[in-house]
Amino acid sequence: MDAAVRGYWVMAWFGLLANVAALPIIGWVAFTDQALQTANISLAFSLAWPAAIVGIVASAGLLAERRWGVIVAIVALSMALAGSLPYGIVRLVLHATDLVLDPQALGGFSLVMFVLNLLALLYWCRPVHRQGGRL
């Protein structure tokens, strides 16, 4: 793998820092929001925390310049996409029913995270990341 690929180190370090920061943020959202607390806790335990942990492992692999880091990064980003889009849509739809106090902020943040994760997924799916390098 050619670590001189444009943006490789920035994306690897940003992924590590973002995933480490995501762990307490996920817990804070899951346990403080009273409107959908059961759904938030189940989503946190079943998808959000595992995706963040897989993202940390992927970032470690990328920083060590291992080819498997790219594959694990694709898996972690796919897991994050699987949770962020449906969650954001549900939160925005709940605004129409006034069941929650501020669903637009959390729903909008979730949709922004979906777009950022999608862009990162497109970056790591480029063929240049799967050529050459150490195993």
Q: What is the pLDDT of residues 35-94, one digit of tens each?
A: 677 878 888 889 899 999 999 999 999 999 898 999 999 999 999 999 888 888 887 777
Please state, in angstroms and rounded to a whole number, the distance separating the CA atoms of residues 121 and 73.
Answer: 8
Would the pTM count as exceeding 0.85?
A: no
Q: Map tokens 């994050």 to a residue.
A: 80
Give the chain's radius of gyration (CA, Å): 16
C-alpha–C-alpha distance, residues 9 and 50, integer Å: 23
